[in-house]
Amino acid sequence: MVNKDFQHQSVLVEESIEALSLRKGDIVVDCTAGGGGHAEKIWERIAPNGLLVCIDRDPTAIEYLQTRFSSLIEEKKVVVIKNRFSQLETISKMLNISGRVGAILADLGVSSVQLDQGERGFSFLKDAPLDMRMDPSSHAQSAADVLASLDEKELAAIFFKLGEETQARQIARAIVREREKNPIKTTQQLVNIVTAVKGVQKKKKHPATLVFQALRIFVNEELEELQALLTHSFSVLKPHGRLAIISFQSLEDRIVKTFFKEKSDKLSNNMNLKYLPVREDDIILRAEGRIIKPFPLLPENEEIISNKRSRSAKLRVIEKLGTNEPKT
């Protein structure tokens, strides 16, 4: 029986599946399998002889995936692995699929389950312990640990760089003052501190949104995880395999956009032809990848209406070129 408590509405499902150009028999890695929304659609495209590798670091998601795909796991057509997706290269070598993967998908959003389960501490709408770890069983610092251990300057840097919070210094100062009196251990305590600094805003965005975002990214090393995934992705993909990333905020999208541009650049090694002792005509210009569309795919209005959390989603897709394939 599937755990009915684990309900997550995946975003840009049809768009991402189409963009991956899946074929029957493909090997596909879903790096953020979560509730299996994308994974199920992927399997429909690669069945009956494909291999689907589902990765997630959330133990609740892993338990759910093992139940949802139990029969396919027994048939060794689906593999469920609890790990960070930064370990993609290690996982692919362990499964002997490195260089043979037809598609890689990563949905970087926080799942509805993580947001809705108050005890996880991701949401500023529910009072709960300040945890925010994607994997609560890990030994990583919780958000409460971060607020207790870092100094004012370090906290301000986190809020400004990872949350793009314009009042980062004032909020950091208020946190340090408050923790001298009482440990900051709950989401409501943090919300109260931020709201006292910023005031109750009439805008749609909650005043604590950016601070919570910044703490979550820092606690889970999300940008470092993304950079590692991108770095290893091309060695895992086979020629003409595709990588699709769904991002939800500007920092992530900027990293993905930059990586895709570098991979699709004719001169990805930054050679300057002006200083080479050969003519430009004598050099075959190559790129490692081809960007499928020059702009990100966005959710349709119908999806945004049915799932408000999809409104900030952006899908970018790149294809790995063959070894001897010139960029035209």
DSSP state of 128: -
CATH of the domain at 301: 3.40.50.150
Any domain includes 120? no
Any domain includes 56? yes
Task: Tell which of 168, 192, 219 closes a domain.
Answer: 219
Shared domain for 212 and 227, answered yes or no, is no
Shared domain for 255 and 266, answered yes or no, is yes
What would the pLDDT profile of 183-212 be if each residue is shown by its tens digit?
A: 999 999 999 999 999 987 766 789 999 999
* 320 bridge partner residues: 289
Shared domain for 296 and 167, answered yes or no, is no
Any domain includes 327? no
Do residues 237 and 319 touch, judged by C-beta distance below 8 A? no
What would the pLDDT profile of 129-174 be if each residue is shown by its tens digit?
A: 999 999 998 889 999 999 999 999 999 999 999 999 999 999 999 9
Rounded to an integer, the average pLDDT of 3-20 is 80
Whole-angstrom CA distances from 215 to 119, 125, 157 are 16, 16, 11
Please state the separation of Cα 306 from the chain's center in Å.
22
Shared domain for 78 and 19, answered yes or no, is yes
Alpha helices in the chain (DSSP H): 13-20, 37-46, 59-68, 70-74, 88-94, 112-116, 143-149, 152-163, 168-181, 187-198, 209-219, 222-236, 250-264, 301-306
Shared domain for 239 and 106, answered yes or no, is yes
Task: Tell which of 219, 242, 261 closes a domain.
Answer: 219
Shared domain for 305 and 232, answered yes or no, is yes
Shared domain for 71 and 83, answered yes or no, is yes
Task: Tell which of 219, 254, 276 closes a domain.
Answer: 219
Number of domains in the chain: 2
Asked if residue 269 has pLDDT above 50, the reply is no
Shared domain for 21 and 102, answered yes or no, is yes
Any domain includes 179? yes
Any domain includes 259? yes
What would the pLDDT profile of 205-243 be if each residue is shown by its tens digit?
A: 899 999 999 999 999 999 999 999 999 999 999 999 999
What domain range includes position 49?
13-112+222-320
Shared domain for 101 and 152, answered yes or no, is no
Shared domain for 97 and 170, answered yes or no, is no
Shared domain for 23 and 105, answered yes or no, is yes
Any domain includes 214? yes
Asked if residue 1 has pLDDT above 50, the reply is no
Shared domain for 174 and 230, answered yes or no, is no
Any domain includes 107? yes
* 53 bridge partner residues: 29, 79
CATH of the domain at 163: 1.10.150.170
What would the pLDDT profile of 30-65 be if each residue is shown by its tens digit?
A: 999 999 999 999 999 999 999 999 999 999 999 999
Rounded to an integer, the average pLDDT of 276-300 is 78
How many Cα neighbours within 13 Å face the side chain of 107?
Answer: 29
Any domain includes 117? no
